[in-house]
Amino acid sequence: MFQGYHGVLPEEKTLGQKFVIDMDAWVDLREAGKTDNLNDSISYVDLYNIVKEVVEGPGHDLLESVAHVIATKTLKKFSRISTVRVKLMKPHVSVPGPLDCLGIEIFRFQKVDV
């Protein structure tokens, strides 16, 4: 969970809120499975750092924009990743009714989006 300042409401931009991110990256990991060597894989720490930098960085109005930046930065940094999925959720959203969270989910592709 990260603290960020994303949203269209003034309170979201000044007070901020928590964001939950779920991310998957599609990459051929056969060599890493054979060698047991991190150099043949993608470090989770590197992916985490991209998410942290974007979510805790400058604010965006739309969750779609936050997720898009996470996805494109990931694809640009790791050309071996063919596809990335980013799910971004607001657990405490300002809507008139009870729910656990609201969010968006996007897919971006190395061959199309980079």
**Per-run averaged pLDDT (10 residues), the chain, 114 residues:** 93 92 96 96 97 97 97 97 97 80 95 82
104's CB contacts (< 8 A; 6+ apart) are 63, 64, 67, 87, 88
pLDDT in the model for residue 20: 96
State which fold the 2-113 domain adopts.
GTP Cyclohydrolase I, domain 2 (3.30.1130)
Q: What is the DSSP letter of 40?
A: G
Domain boundaries defined on the chain: 2-113
Alpha carbon distance 47, 8 (integer Å): 27
pLDDT in the model for residue 19: 96
pLDDT in the model for residue 89: 96
| 90 catalytic per annotation | yes
Catalytic residue among 76, 87, 90, 111: 90
